[in-house]
Structures are given as structure tokens and as C-alpha cells.
Chains A and B, each alone.
Chain A
Amino acid sequence: GQQLNQSPQSMFIQEGEDVSMNCTSSSIFNTWLWYKQDPGEGPVLLIALYKAGELTSNGRLTAQFGITRKDSFLNISASIPSDVGIYFCAGSLYGGATNKLIFGTGTLLAVQP
């Protein structure tokens, strides 16, 4: 099935560093979501974006809905060990007949204390 391109594929950083990851699509979306998945668990919603250009924060996390509606960015500031996990972006065309999500390929984040 269709997937969104997410980069980087993986990141290995030191505790305290800032992290940036992005997600791009060839299609326009009207909603972007960012999820985090820990081992053995389902994805957990971090941030939802509903408007082109929107910048939204959730604690140390900040995400932006790209102006072109074809991309989104997630930044994590001052990383801590519990930030370890796989981060997925997801795009949706809410307002249509379905609520379907298209997921990105994922970014694996490892944080060394």
C-alpha cells in the first residue's frame, strides 16, 4: 500500500540533544498526525495538525504542517532516554467519506544516556 517517505530512517543521539524528523508525500493531506510506538505496544498519538502552516507543541515536542500540505516536521528538544521508540507520521483526508490514514515509513530513535 501507499506509504509516506519519512527521514531519517534512524537516529542515534546523546541525551540532551535536539531531534528533527520529517515526512513527505506526493499527495496533499488536510490532516497530519504524529505517533510514537514503543516495543510491544500500539502507536500512541503525540500531535495532530489540521491546518497548513500550523505549528503545534506538546511539551518538548513541536510539529508543523507544511505550507504545501505535502509534508510535516517533528522536533524533539532536549531528548531523554524515554524518547526511545519509533516515530510515525500519518496523513489523512478527513472530511471525505472515510477517515483513512496513510502511515510513514517510521524513524527509529535511540537515545544514549
Chain B
Amino acid sequence: SAVISQKPSRDICQRGTSLTIQCQVDSQVTMMFWYRQQPGQSLTLIATANQGSEATYESGFVIDKFPISRPNLTFSTLTVSNMSPEDSSIYLCSASERNQPQHFGDGTRLSIL
């Protein structure tokens, strides 16, 4: 299965600032996804990162708050914009081929002060 690397692994940020999280896959993959995992909770899909086009966002998530890029088949970024303490979460990237299970990176642990 693909190896997925995320950077940074953790960060502490000031409210009102923005942070961009990078996700690198060691092979070309058809599909990439971004999830949020709030403290002690399960995973919630933020969006599907589409290569060469705008990401597809789930209900409750908007592009202005979570802009996503996917310039090629191995790389994607998620930006958390204008952060507030409520954005403190683990942000996880995953990748898969169509109709194959998703594999995950180790996540980015974000704390907002």
C-alpha cells in the first residue's frame, strides 16, 4: 500500500492565522481525502481532493475556511484559515485507488491558542 507522509506533524498556532498542511504519497494515486478528528472523536471527511479541479466539500465544510490544492497525483495541501480554538484537531490525509481501501498518514496535530 502507498506510504503517506504529512507535514507538519504538529503545530501550535495563534488565532486568526492560517496553516497549510502538506500530504505526500510515495506513488501516484487516483483519490486523496482530508479528514478532521476532533479530540476524542471519530474521523469526519472534510473534502475529496480532486487532481486538476476544485475539491469536493462535505456538508459543513467550505472552501473559504479549508482551501485544498491537488496539483498532481502524489501531493495535496489543506489550509486551515483564520483559525480559532475550535479548529484544534487532528487533520488526516488519506489516499486510495478507486474501489480500494483508503490508507492514512499519521496526521497533523493542531492546537490553536
User: B-contacting residues of A (Cβ < 8 Å)?
Assistant: 1, 3, 33, 35, 40-45, 48, 88, 94-95, 98-106
Smallest CB gap from A46: residue in B: B101
A42 touches B42 (CB 8 A): no
Chain B contact residues, CB within 8 Å of chain A: 1, 4, 31, 33, 41-45, 48, 56, 58-60, 92, 94, 96, 98-107, 109
Given contacts A41-B106, A41-B107, A42-B92, contact A103 B101 (CB under 8 A): no
A3 with B42: CB separation less than 8 A: yes
Tally of contacts, chain A with chain B, CB under 8 A: 60
Q: Which residues of B contact A41 (CB under 8 A)?
A: 106-107
Please state if A42 and B98 are interface contacts (CB–CB under 8 Å). Answer: no
Assess A42 versus B101: contact at CB under 8 Å? Given A1-B45, A1-B58, A98-B48. Answer: no
Q: Chain A interface secondary structure, helix, strand, loop or mixed?
A: loop
Q: Is the CB of B45 within 8 A of A100?
A: yes
